[in-house]
Structure 1
Amino acid sequence: MDQKQHAPGVQGRRAGAFYAVFHKGNIYHLRNSEFRVFSLLVCGGMWSTFEIAERLSIPDPRSTIRYLRKMGIDVSDVWVREKVRDSVLKFKRYFIHGAL
């Protein structure tokens, strides 16, 4: 009888390479996608999820932003309304206060 092969142990979300980031007196260990989103927000400006996803090729940056907030990085947001033709779009723009 053949033995079943077991899948290798599943690693947690925190497995893999990290970027050590010093921000406002604290050191954060960020994964690649978190580091890319953090770097974009620290550079300044207010970014919508669509702009972040398009620029960084990340499918849904909202989950990455959620993880950044859980770590203690202050990612702020503001609701924006824009009128396009006959409809009104409502979405959030994300930014980091006092980034520079």
Structure 2
Amino acid sequence: MIDIAPGNPDALYPYENLLPVVELLIANGNRFTAAGDGFQRQPHGWVCELELPLDFDLLTREVTFPPIIKAGPQGDGVLDMGTWCLISGPGERASRIVMPKQVE
């Protein structure tokens, strides 16, 4: 079982906690989109886009997520809400995610 910790929003690479999830999905047949080969910086956070839908049966069997990470087939994504780092399948693309306004 892979235990995922919450990400560190102050880290240089705040998505590091999600790398084992990406590695597991790639090892089990998913692949990166032609646009990238890992997490890419976007205006609203870091995004790793995968070509195939995320295998949530596999993730349920192999990964434990903390409550701050939202993962589910209804959105075809894994989102760390503490760092705004996203692993997306084709059903959930970063352009459709609305981030909350940050209070200054």
TM-score (norm 1): 0.32
* Higher helix content, 1 or 2: 1
TM-score (norm 2): 0.31
Larger radius of gyration: 1
